Structure 1
Amino acid sequence: MTPRIVANRRQFLSLSAAVAGTAVFTTACGRTQASVGGLSDPFVWSTYGTGTSTYNDLAAVSDAVASDTGARVRIITSDTPVGRLAAMRADIAQAGRLGDEYFFGYHGVNEFANEDWGPQDLRMVWAPLSPHSLMVKGGSGIETYADLAGKRIPRIAANPSVNMKIEGLLAYGGLAPEDVTWVDIGYGDQPEALKTGKIDTLYQQVYGSPLFELESQMEVAWLPLDPEDTEAVKRLIDLVPTVNVLPFSGAPGQAEGEETHGLVYTLPISVYAHKSADEVYALVSSMARTFPKYEDTTLNTPRWNPEDVEVMPKLTPFHDGTVRWLTENGMWTPEAEAKNQELIAAGATYREEWAKYLATEPKSEEIAEGWPAWIAEKITG
């Protein structure tokens, strides 16, 4: 990941604040599709690869929702943000559990700053939190983030979201991108690469099945964050303001009862805005109603508790169907509604200005830089 992309993302974060029974229906692509229990049948999710903690959580939730509604529920996977969101845009998947592409896409930045994409009209549906961190080999001599100087660090292919988190963690340790050796690699290839010594650390959700398998083969450890080190945390948050520094436990490499502070942030269920409010409401209702059935399925599914999910929109608005459910359950505030409307208005501005920007016929290689500059001028003057 380059400093250029980092700057663009930070610019857009600040701009967001500134602007800020069976039936039949027809999909966005014009084909008819059955609806069972209020959901499309089949109801298809898009998410990270098989074996990741993100996938495992979603599989547990999907089983409960399928049993509850009677709809067939399927999961398709991709290791890349574009791949996950492309399935949703093509209406192959009705929803996705996404990484930061939920707001990269909303703002049309990073890998979405090109003629094929631009700002996407997305909405959040459900926002459970997940812990992530950097894992190293036990006995490697890497005990702090400062110890990563000169080490081989993964740069995840087509995933600026993860790369930004890694750069933020380096900044926590007082390191710049040029202080390490970058190794280009796929997200799901990291555990094997750490095992074979191709990389010196990996970044993933801490409860992924491949990480427990890795623990069975070698000693592993997590690099801890210190929430009391305010200067280091500030360097981290300045680069990745969407994360929280919170403890996790029960991960590979941890003793029973041990806690380690890592990055905790949402990998939300998201949909396109045109999705039916009734269908989204049915989905949220089912996920909340069936929570006791999947609560203890994985180490992270307890965080899907309706009482613990994020309910204040930050970078992308919530869908009307979710707002309806939150309102009925006393979880939607006037402050949340005001922020939601601000973000909806901002998204409309992004999409309107995107069309105007493309009309200037920018060169493809100039869009990643030109689009942030264009929208910054239009919004802030």
Structure 2
Amino acid sequence: MHRLARHVLFASLPLTFALSEATLAKEVELPNTMAWTAYGTNSSGYAQAVAIGGMLQEQYDTSVRVLPGDNDVSRMTPLRTGRVDLCACGIASYYGAEGVLMFAHPDWGPQPLRVLTTSTASFGLSLAVAGDLDVKTPADLKGKRVAYIRGDDALNKGTEAYLAFGGLTWDDVERVDYPGYARSFDGIIAGDADASFTTTVTPPAQQLASSPRGISWPELDPNDDDAWKRMQAVAPYFQPHKVTSGAGGVSDENPVNSASYPYPIIVANADLEDATAYGLIKALQDNYDSYKDNAPGAAGYALENQDMTWVIPFHEAVVDYYKEVGVWTEEMQAHQDKLVERQNLLLETWKTFTSGDAPDDEEAFRDAWMQARASALRDAGFEPIFE
């Protein structure tokens, strides 16, 4: 199994967790108020942020204000400007840390982000395929009509990654452009497209499952190392995942070998105060039972669901917490150090690039930045991933 698939497994938790709730509360230092951004009010990410906020209010008298954002810009701009402490973000947080896609722009560049915690729950992220096509694996998508969502880098990158798993590219399918995510599912139901990227539990997937076409989810063989290497070369944040909830009858009794990545990804800037970062991760773990059932997907914050060798570095205070509870290893530290080194290199490269003769035209600026970025990473022994 590829290293990104390996989650930390714990046979037992340290004695720290046996301390009384009152003792634990004294050890957590949090501000009186916090502000977060999250997805829209009808999203599971927003519901989880509200559930966590309720726990923090009840246990630590910390008031959390959750600001919903309809897109990545509205969620991440307040974090960049210091208006909020945290973002319950999606995979755009990784793009931000890398300075690519929408962040390869004069107003953005690589962001100094650090993970506080993530949620990996029972659902998956996959291509929803019309059930009348007999698509069993991504390779079966060859020649099919696949949705491309204009302006949505994360969804399109997910589609590209699934195609790569099957040894395909956009050139091997018929690309059908849509102005929005929901419209692509209307297109599948109407017979104008065959597949679109989504989570397995989203309402549009449920609508497709209830339509005459039905729904299917391509299986990803967890033991096909070559296919996973192809997929993770496109999108290294994907992990093998046995999906047990989803449209079309996906359940514990009828699971699907698929893929996932954490959602939400709770990130802060690297300069978030250590006491706040440490207090939050400790509060989330110490009080897990009090919020895990209060929002869809909130059970995904369990300690055993945290991937300690993922693609964005942890906040140093979070690392300190994991060391204290005895789950941090030398391998994890080495991985963390490489991620921090990569991010520092990107930040320095951006500083040099923008202080020089960077083009004024946005498209030319993006092209030049991506070339400078790739060269700097390669020279330091890193894979650019995005070019």
Q: Name the TM tier (shorter chain).
A: 0.7 to 0.9
Structure-1 residue corresponding to 2:7: none
Is the 2:47–2:296 contact (alpha carbons within 8 Å) kept by the matching residues of 1? no
Structure-1 residue corresponding to 2:228: 233
- Give the 3-state SS of the residue equivalent to 1:266 in structure 2: coil
Q: 1:337 aligns with which of 321, 333, 337?
A: 333
**Which letter does structure 1 place at the counterpart of 2:281?**
V
The offset of 1:276, in angstroms, is 1.0
Write the distance in 2 (CA, Å) between the matches of 1:78 and 1:148: 33
- Give the 3-state SS of the residue equivalent to 1:292 in structure 2: helix
Give matches, 1:110-149, under 5 Å. 110-130=101-121, 131-149=124-142
- Give the 3-state SS of the residue equivalent to 1:310 in structure 2: coil
Instruction: Tell me, yes or no, if structure 1 residue 282 matches structure 2 residue 279.
Output: yes
Q: 1:272 aligns with which of 262, 269, 274?
A: 269
Write the distance in 2 (CA, Å) between the matches of 1:191 and 1:39: 43
1:70-115 superposed Cα distances (whole Å, 9 cap, x missing partner)? 2222333334333321121123332112223223212212211121
Instruction: Tell me, yes or no, if structure 1 residue 48 matches structure 2 residue 47.
Output: no
**Which letter does structure 1 place at the counterpart of 2:323?**
T
- Give the 3-state SS of the residue equivalent to 2:127 in structure 1: strand
Is the 2:118–2:300 contact (alpha carbons within 8 Å) kept by the matching residues of 1? no
Structure-1 residue corresponding to 2:240: 245
Structure-1 residue corresponding to 2:324: 328
Q: 1:182 aligns with which of 167, 176, 195?
A: 176
Q: 2:304 aligns with which of 296, 307, 313?
A: 307
The offset of 1:136, in angstroms, is 2.8
The offset of 1:47, in angstroms, is 2.6
1:118-163 superposed Cα distances (whole Å, 9 cap, x missing partner)? 1211111113325211223433554443443344323234332331
**Which letter does structure 1 place at the counterpart of 2:369?**
W
Structure-1 residue corresponding to 2:292: 295
Divergent runs of 4+, >6 A: none
Classify 1:216/1:297 alpha carbon distance in 2 versus 1 (closer, same or farther; 3 Å): farther
Instruction: Tell me, yes or no, if structure 1 residue 153 matches structure 2 residue 146.
Output: yes
- Give the 3-state SS of the residue equivalent to 2:216 in structure 1: strand
The offset of 1:213, in angstroms, is 5.9
Write the distance in 1 (CA, Å) between the matches of 2:205 and 2:126: 12
Classify 1:192/1:46 alpha carbon distance in 2 versus 1 (closer, same or farther; 3 Å): farther
The offset of 1:260, in angstroms, is 0.4
Write the distance in 2 (CA, Å) between the matches of 1:289 and 1:188: 38
The offset of 1:212, in angstroms, is 4.3
Structure-2 residue corresponding to 1:347: 343
Q: 1:90 aligns with which of 81, 89, 93?
A: 81
Structure-2 residue corresponding to 1:109: 100
- Give the 3-state SS of the residue equivalent to 2:259 in structure 1: strand
The offset of 1:270, in angstroms, is 0.5
Instruction: Tell me, yes or no, if structure 1 residue 172 matches structure 2 residue 168.
Output: no
Classify 1:229/1:376 alpha carbon distance in 2 versus 1 (closer, same or farther; 3 Å): closer
Structure-1 residue corresponding to 2:25: none
Structure-2 residue corresponding to 1:373: 371
- Give the 3-state SS of the residue equivalent to 1:341 in structure 2: helix
**Which letter does structure 1 place at the counterpart of 2:222?**
P
Write the distance in 1 (CA, Å) between the matches of 2:59 and 2:68: 23
Is the 2:128–2:205 contact (alpha carbons within 8 Å) kept by the matching residues of 1? no
Is the 1:52–1:205 contact (alpha carbons within 8 Å) kept by the matching residues of 2? no
Q: What are the ranges of 5 or more consecutive residues in structure 2 without an aligned counterpart?
A: 1-27, 380-387
The offset of 1:42, in angstroms, is 4.0
* Aligned pairs, number: 344
Is the 1:134–1:223 contact (alpha carbons within 8 Å) kept by the matching residues of 2? yes
1:236-286 superposed Cα distances (whole Å, 9 cap, x missing partner)? 233222212221112221255100012122232100112111111121122
TM-align CA RMSD: 2.8
Residue range with higher mean Cα deviation, 243-252 or 42-51: 42-51
Structure-2 residue corresponding to 1:14: none
Classify 1:182/1:67 alpha carbon distance in 2 versus 1 (closer, same or farther; 3 Å): farther
The offset of 1:211, in angstroms, is 4.1
Structure-2 residue corresponding to 1:221: 216
Write the distance in 1 (CA, Å) between the matches of 2:343 and 2:367: 19
Classify 1:333/1:144 alpha carbon distance in 2 versus 1 (closer, same or farther; 3 Å): closer
**Which letter does structure 2 place at the counterpart of 1:306?**
L
The offset of 1:306, in angstroms, is 1.3
Give matches, 1:30-49, under 5 Å. 38-49=29-40
Write the distance in 2 (CA, Å) between the matches of 1:349 and 1:77: 32
Write the distance in 1 (CA, Å) between the matches of 2:314 and 2:220: 31
The offset of 1:209, in angstroms, is 4.9
Structure-2 residue corresponding to 1:208: 202
**Which letter does structure 2 place at the counterpart of 1:238?**
A
- Give the 3-state SS of the residue equivalent to 1:307 in structure 2: helix
Write the distance in 1 (CA, Å) between the matches of 2:342 and 2:298: 32
The offset of 1:58, in angstroms, is 3.5
